Amino acid sequence: MISSVLHALLTAAIVQAQTAAQSGTVRIIQTNAAGDNVHLIDPATNQVVDEITGIPIPHGVTSHPDGSALYFSNEVDRTLDVVPTRTLKVTKQIPLSGRPNNVAITPDGRKVYVAIRAEPGAVDVIDVQAERRAKSIPTAGGVHNVYLTPDGKYVVAGMIAARTLTVIDAASDQPVWSMEFDGGVRPMAFERNADGSTRRIFVQISDYHGFYVVDFEKRTVVARIQMPDLPLTRVDNDGLQGSPGHGLAVSPDGKTLWSTSKPNNHVYAYSLSDLQLLGGVPVGSHPDWLTMTPDGRYLYSANAGSNDVSAIDTQAMKEVARIRVGQVPKRNHTAVLPQ
C-alpha cells in the first residue's frame, strides 16, 4: 500500500514537471568550468539572455521541477549554491562533505544529490526545503557523475578511479547494487520501459570512443557501441582528459540517443531501438556535454575547446547556431522557468 502511494506521488510530480515544461520559459543553462559565471541561452533566439556570476568553477547544474531555483555545485567553496530564478543571484551556499562534481534532483524537488569527487567519495543528500546536507552516502571511490533514473526511483553514481557504477534506492538512500567496469565511469543516459521504469543505461567509459550498454534488470553490459573513426588528419586528440566520449542525451520521445565525440568534434545520433548510427553533426572543439529542449527539436552541445555552444536542429541534423559563452563550457542543463 505504501509503495503504491509513493508511486502515485512520484507519477504526479513527473506529470506536473512535464506540464510546466509545456507552459514555462525554456532556458539552456551553461556552466563555464574555468570561470566563475554561468550563461542562460534562449533556445528561441539562440542568444545569451542572462548571466549568473559569483560561482567559482561551477561544475554540475540542475533545476527545481517547478522552475523556481537553480542548483550549482561549487568546486572552490565546496558548496551547493542555490540561485532563485526570480533574481538569478546566489542566496545560499550549502556546505558539502568534499569537492563536488555533478548534481541531480528528485522529480518532487525535495532532494538534491551531489557527487563528491574527493576521496574516499560519497553522494551527499541535500534537503532542499531545509537547505542543508541531510546525509552522505559512502561509495567505493570519488563520484564524478550522479543521476536520477527517469522514474525517480534510483540514484545512479559513476566513479572514475574506482571504475564502479552504484545504484542507490532514492526512497531509503541506501545502495542496492553495484557493477565494475574495465575503465572509469563517465557520463550516462537512460532508456525507459513502457511503464516508465529503467530498461537500459548507456555509459561512456574512460579511453573508449563510444559507449557501453547496460541492461538495468540483468545488471550486465550487453553491448559496446564504438563511434565512427575519422581520417587521422581530421582527428583532434588534444586535451581529451581520458574521455573521448563525454556527453549523452536521450531524446524526450525515447527514439534517439545522442553522443559527443571529442576527437572527431562531432555529435552522433543513434536509433534507440537498435542502436544503429543515424548520422553525425560537426560542432565546435571538444564537445563535452549535451542537453535538449523539452520538445526534442534542438540539441545543445557545450564545446569546451572553443568556448561556445552548438545549437543543433535534430530533424535537419545540422548545426544552426554557434553561441559564444565563457571559459571551458562543460555541464549544461535545460530548465523550464515560470512564465
Distance CA 108, CA 5 (A): 14
In the prediction, which pLDDT does 199 show?
A: 98
| E strand or H helix that includes residue 2 | helix 2-23
Per-residue model confidence as pLDDT tens digits over 84-140: 999 999 999 999 999 999 999 999 999 999 999 999 999 999 999 999 999 999 999
pLDDT of 233 reads: 62
CA distance 226 to 209: 6
Amino acid at 235: V
pLDDT of residue 2: 43
pTM: 0.92
> 10 Å Cβ neighbour count for 51?
14
Decide if pLDDT at 293 tops 60: yes
Q: What is the pLDDT of residue 130?
A: 98
pLDDT at 236: 72
Residue 179 has pLDDT above 70, yes or no: yes
Share of the chain above pLDDT 70, in %: 91
Question: pLDDT, tens digit, for every residue of 252-261?
Answer: 999 999 999 9
The residue extents of the domains of the chain are 2-337
Distance separating alpha carbons of residues 302 and 140, to the nearest angstrom: 29
In which band, very low, low, confident or very high, does the pLDDT at 339 lie, cut at 50, 70 and 90?
Answer: confident
Q: 14: exposed, middle or buried (C-beta count within 10 Å: 0-12, 13-18, 19+)?
A: middle
Q: What is the DSSP letter of 177?
A: E
Report the amino acid identity of residue 313.
D
Helix then strand count (H, E) for the chain reads 1, 28
Query: Which CATH topology does 2-337 take?
Result: Methylamine Dehydrogenase; Chain H (2.130.10)
- The pLDDT of residue 74 is 98
Q: How far, in Å, CA of 322 to CA of 300, rounded? A: 10
Over residues 8-35, mean pLDDT = 70
- Dihedral sign of CA atoms 68, 74, 77, 79 in order: positive
- Lowest pLDDT segment from 52-61, 222-231, 290-299, 304-313: 222-231
- Give the model confidence (pLDDT) of 191-243 as tens digits: 999 999 999 999 999 999 999 999 999 999 999 999 998 777 676 776 667 89
